[in-house]
Each structure stands twice: as C-alpha cells, then as structure tokens.
Amino acid sequence: MDVPTQTAPTGAQLAPPAVADLSRPELYLNRELTWLAFNWRVLAEAADRRNPLLERLKFLAITASNLDEFFMKRIGGLKQQVVAGMQELTPDGRTPRQQIAECYAEIRRMEQRQRELLAELLEALKEYDIRLVRYEELSDTQRAEVRNHYVKNIFPLVTPLAMDPAHPFPFVSNLSHNVLVSLRDPQTADGLIARIKVPLGAGIPRFMRIGATTHFVALEDIIAHNLDLLFPNMTVEACEFFRVTRNANTERDEEEADDLLEMIESELRDRRFAPIVRLEVGRGMDAAHRGMLAFELGLNEREDVFEVDGMLALRDLMELVAIENPALHDPAHRPADHPALRSSRNIFHIIRDAGSLFLFHPYQSFSTSVARFLREASEDPKVRAIKMTLYRTSADEEIIHYLCDAARNGKQVAVVVELKARFDEAANIRFATKLEEFGIHVTYGVIGLKTHTKVILVVRQDYNGLRRYSHIGTGNYHPGTARLYADFGLLTSDDAIGQDLTELFNYLTTGYKLERSYRKLLPAPVALKKALLARIEREMKLGPAGLIQLKMNALEDVQITRALYRASQAGVKIQLIVRDTCRLRPGIAGLSENIRVISVVGRFLEHGRIYYFRNGGAEEYFIASADCMKRNLESRVEVMAPIEDAGQRKDLRMILDTQLNTKRGAWELHADGSYTPLAAADDTSPGAQELLTVYAERKLSASERQRRRKIARRRTVTQ
C-alpha cells in the first residue's frame, strides 16, 4: 500500500539551504499529516496477507480507533484555533484551516480504503464460518431467538426521543451509535422523527452472537428491525444511522484553579458537552435529515459530515477479533523472564548484587519484573518507603492493590497521580481516591506541567543502612499494555540515581525549586532538551566521525530537528527510528543526505525511547520517557536515564541494530514525506519484533545453561 506524499506547502523545490537558513517552511513536514501517514502504515498491516485474518481485522479496528482520537484531540484543537481567529503558521507554513482541509482529504481517502479492506476481510472470514450478517439474512427461527434476547436483555434500556416543537433536539453523546427514525401515524398522517441511542457498553456488545455459531448481527440492525416494539401501530418510513465525535480539548487554566481535582472533574463534564467536530452518517441518508443533523449539531454540512458506506465505528470490530481460533491469530506470545529474576531470592538482593537490570518489554515479562518489584516492596518488612509516579494503569488495579498493601503494612507511600492523562482522567481520579482512603500521600504533580515520567523509588533498610532501589521506565505501569507495547526499563540500586529520584519526588510533591542538582538523570523541562541539543552539537563538531541514533515515537520539536539538520550538514551520520510524527525531511542534498528515518510497525506498538551518541568512542546510551516533542521537552516532567553497564548496552545495541537493519515491518521516510516498505510483499523473513522475541528467549536459555553448568561444577567439586 502506498502511503501518501506530503508536498511542501509553498510548492517550492527542496533546494539545499544555507547553514544559517533553516527556518524555511518547506524543510519541515506537518505534524498532523505525518501522523495520518503513520495510520496508513497501520492500515497496511490490515492489508498484509502475511498476517493472520483476525490480526488483520485487529489492525483495521485500530486505525478506526486512531481516527476517532485524532478527531477528538487534533482536529478538535485545530477547530478551536480557527474559532479563535488564530492565523499563526506552523513550522511547515500551514494555517489551522489549511491543516483541517488537508487532513479531511486524507481521512476520506483512508476511510474508503478501510471499507475496501473490511469487505475483503469479511469475505475471507466466511471460509472459517465467521460472518457478520444482516438481520434480513437470518432465518425465521434465528430472528425469533434474536428478538427474544433483545426483548429480555436490551429493550428495557432503549429510550426513543422525539424531535418536534415540544421535544427539542436531544443531547448526543460522544462516539455513541444513533438510529434516526422517520415515522408516520397511519390514522392522522402526522409525521414524527425520533432518535434512539444504541445502548452499548456495560456488558452489551455491539455484535450479538447468533446461538452457538460464529455469526453475528449488529445491535443497531436489530433495533432497526424491531421498531414495532418502540412505536406500535406506526409506519416506519426511514431508518438511518449516525454517530458524532466531540472535541476532547477542554483543559482549563491550572493557575486559576483552587482545587485541581475539582477542576479535572469539571473538565470531564465539559468534555461530555464539548462541541461536536465530526458527524458520520450512513451513505444514502435523506438529504433533509443530513442537513437537519448538521444544523442542530453546529457543523458545516459540506466539510464536517462524513458519509460512510456501510457500518459505522469500525473500532468495534475488536469484538470479533476476540474470537478464539488459533489459526487466525498470531502465535501466542509468552514473555521470557529476565534471566536474573528466575531466582526466588529477595528481588532487592538480586538487584543489589547485579547493580542494575535492564528490561525490554514485552519480550521480557512485566509481571515477573516491575510488578514483582512493587509487590515485594509492599511485603518486605525492611522496606520503609515507596514513591511512585502514576500516569496510566489498568482497570484490574493490580498496581493500586500493591500500593494499598504497602500502606496497610505500615510503609510510607507517596504517589504522584497525573490527573490530566488524556482519556484516563476519570480512572485516575478513582485510583487517587482509593489510594487516599488507605492513608497514602497522593499529590497531583506540579501546576502547569504534566507528570509523564515513569519512576518508582523504594527505600529499604539494608544491612549497612538505608539503600534506594529504583525503577525507571519508558512505559506506563499498566500490566495490560505492557503485553502489547514495546518498552524499556531499568531496575537499579545505583545510589546516584536514587538520590536524583529523591530530588525529583521532592520537586513533584512540593513544586518547589525546579533547578535541583541531578547527578545522572536528565529531567525535563529543566535539563533534557538542553542535554539533547548539547550532545547533537558535540557530534556535529566530530563531523563524519559522529554518529547519532535515536528511537522515539515522534520527532516534532523544531529546535531538535534543526540541530539534526546542522549535524547532517557537518557530515554526522544520523539514524532515526520514529514511530509516527516526524517533521524532518531526510535525504535532501546539502541538508539531510546523512539522515535516514525509518518507522517500525508490527504486532507490538513501538513505544520505547533510546538516545545514542557515539561521542568519539566514549559512547552514551540513554532510555527516556520523553519523545522529541515540544510538549514533552518543555511542558512535562520527564526523565532520561543513562545505561552504563556493558552488558545492558549490548542489549540496546542489539535492539537498535535489529530495527535499523531488518526489512519486514520497516518503512523508510523520503524527502517528499512519503513512506515505502523496505520488504517486498512476499518477504516471509522475520521482522524486528520476532527477532527480539527470539533474542529474549535465547538470553534466558543461555542463562539457564550457565546456571546448570555451575551446579554441575559444584557437584563435581563436592564429589
């Protein structure tokens, strides 16, 4: 699948600029369009026939979910700028209105491709007797069974709302499924329009299974064909479907808030009633009905209404992905244990003896490493205190449970909860409330900054006094996503890092004095960006002997991008692994011919960050919670940590080399903004993620063999 080309906004040729002339907009790609290009790459996984069928359906659902979030966050923000009359150009030279128009064009193309793929996948799934059927296709017996289930389990939850002078246009909630019904009273000939919200959630699936089969029918289709229950003796003239998306950008000014928790709760209420940014309607909806909906919802009918050919909300296809059929899924992934953590010894003794342990998830288990670290900290009688940042965690509350256990066991527990974690605000409020009920000291970070860093500090009474044990990660403390996201972590007893985390937590819990003394960690917003720019500058001075390798989710910050351009002009070799948004245009003669940018898309979401600088042979490796985005570097509390152990650097080198040199699942970015896959369509070689899975398993096997040899040698000596 071709990924769209993003042309320079001015239409100018990409001629090499002078060293001092790096402000030209045509040298930068657009943030929104490069993110959409990433969604095209995810969609390519849905089209890839080398992937099992239900995995392809999963990727299709992910692209639809991604677009929902894109409208809520990015389009919503751009619309706010338009309403505010903002005309400030982006670094790539676009106004907010221009960005919306270009994004809309791209999205409409993408949605057309989604529909084509859905038809292809549903047809292929019929071979395995997995079918999404229309209500009309059911037998009389099946219809009776479906209707009976609907009447008993769903119908009492359905509420029709009339729309007439006595009944104003009803509130339509974000991402809800809606049925618009046109009716006529056969006795009076009076017309009526009503809206029905499809009651999804709380145990009610979008797709109802028919008996014991793997055939499914959509709930809105069932409602539409059983309207006689809602409107007895009325004539149904039309039944149409629609869906709305609301703006999620409802943040208020923290400086003006008396109570941050109350402010976030108010924001959530605001978001529920936030302006609508998109209306999706089924193709063929009556023009008058379409116009009425657009008017009532405050939308531009020509621009903001998206006609959908077929089913709305493809994100719900995730329900079908859950069907158990091993032949249609990737092989089950079982993370390997970290070799040092196979032992049942106290985890703090293991870390103390090793100095530090490097973790790479999901290839290595989160539950037997990070979760174990927190669990044992909650139980160990020698642990005195636990401090932790919490950005997102799971609904099963495993991490919360360990923290509450720690408090019950008499340990001092302090948790910095980020209430402004987008779309997890309500969950984090619940978690914070529960933690406080157990006497845990809960704070919400520093006013004006999101706490995005992922760190744990455990203070333990060791044989020689208090010792600090730390975990620094690139991913959230979320056991569920730890099985799906590729992230890195460091468990360490390094005292300098422990002291740095003590300073960081003192800052987070008081907000006092940003300029603290840090020995090894590089926190944002005070030090991280300066450190990255200084290291890029240092490599630039080395010229062709310099080497920079960066792995991140996004490269959006203009200052970092310009610094990389300058380093390339000086001859530095630069290799970037950027998952989605990337402003930089590689391969421009005289500017970026020394820069290569690839994106890796696969079974796991690439989420970890690695920053490597050759430094004239005195190599530096770092892992970080931050991407090279302005918001991460200037408006969030983040941490970048050095990896100093030779063996752990070997692991990082293996990860970088594997992703830079493996073709399957890798895409290369070109100067015009287009991406091309590095592997041929029939290439069946393993991708980088498969190779890293094998690498983790081999590390564990080698460690086990070494352990057995040691046991055998000891037995030989004793004999």
Q: Which of 114, 426, 90, 104 is CA-nearest to residue 277?
A: 104
Q: Which residues are catalytic?
A: 452
Q: Which secondary-structure segment (H or E) carries 627?
A: none
Answer yes or no: is pLDDT of 9 > 90: no
Q: What CA–CA distance (Å, rounded) separates 106 from 72?
A: 17
Strand partners, 242: 178, 281
Question: In this predicted structure, what is the pLDDT of residue 186?
Answer: 87
Topology of the domain covering 135-326: polyphosphate kinase like (3.30.1840)
Residue 477, classed as helix, strand or coil, is coil
Mean pLDDT of the region 490-512: 94
* Chain CA centroid to CA 205, Å: 23
Answer yes or no: is pLDDT of 509 > 70: yes
- Greater model confidence, 426 or 381: 381
Tokens of 577: 């692994």
Contact (CB, 8 A) for 90 and 76: no
Q: What CA–CA distance (Å, rounded) separates 443 from 424?
A: 17
End-to-end CA gap in the chain: 66
Contact (CB, 8 A) for 204 and 154: yes
Q: What CA–CA distance (Å, rounded) separates 66 from 605?
A: 13
**What's the pLDDT tens digit per position in 658-709?**
999 999 999 999 999 999 999 999 999 999 999 999 999 999 998 777 777 7
Residue 235, classed as helix, strand or coil, is strand
* Domain boundaries along the sequence of the chain: 26-123, 135-326, 339-514, 522-683
The answer to whether the 26-123 and 135-326 domains have the same CATH topology is no
Q: What CA–CA distance (Å, rounded) separates 341 from 339?
A: 5
**What's the pLDDT tens digit per position in 172-230?**
999 999 999 999 988 887 888 999 999 998 889 999 999 999 999 999 999 999 999 99
DSSP code string of 189-200: --EEEEEEE---
- Class of the CATH-defined domain 522-683: alpha beta
At residue 651's C-alpha, the angle toward residues 650 and 653, to 5°, is 65
Answer yes or no: is pLDDT of 238 > 80: yes
- Residue 181 identity (one-letter amino acid): V
- Which architecture characterizes domain 339-514 according to CATH? 2-Layer Sandwich (3.30)
Residue 217 CB contacts under 8 Å (≥ 6 apart), including other chains: 132, 133, 134, 135, 138, 146, 207, 208, 210
Superfamily of the domain at 26-123: Polyphosphate kinase N-terminal domain (1.20.58.310)
Answer yes or no: is pLDDT of 563 > 70: yes
Tokens of 389: 């940042």
At residue 362's C-alpha, the angle toward residues 358 and 363, to 5°, is 70
Burial group, residue 131, by CB count within 10 angstroms (0-12, 13-18, 19+): middle
**What's the pLDDT tens digit per position in 450-468?**
899 999 999 999 989 999 9
Answer yes or no: is pLDDT of 257 > 80: no
**What's the pLDDT tens digit per position in 40-81?**
999 999 999 999 999 999 999 999 999 999 999 999 999 989
β pairing state of 454-462 and 383-390: antiparallel
Residue 378, classed as helix, strand or coil, is helix
Answer yes or no: is pLDDT of 4 > 70: no
Lowest-pLDDT choice from 15-24, 271-280, 310-319 = 15-24
Q: Which residue has the tokens 């909906």?
A: 293
**Global pTM value:** 0.92
DSSP code string of 536-598: HHHHHHHGGG-EEEEEES-B--HHHHHHHHHHHHTT-EEEEEESS-B-B----TTTTTTEEEE
Distances (CA, A) of 263 to 255, 269, 376: 11, 10, 36
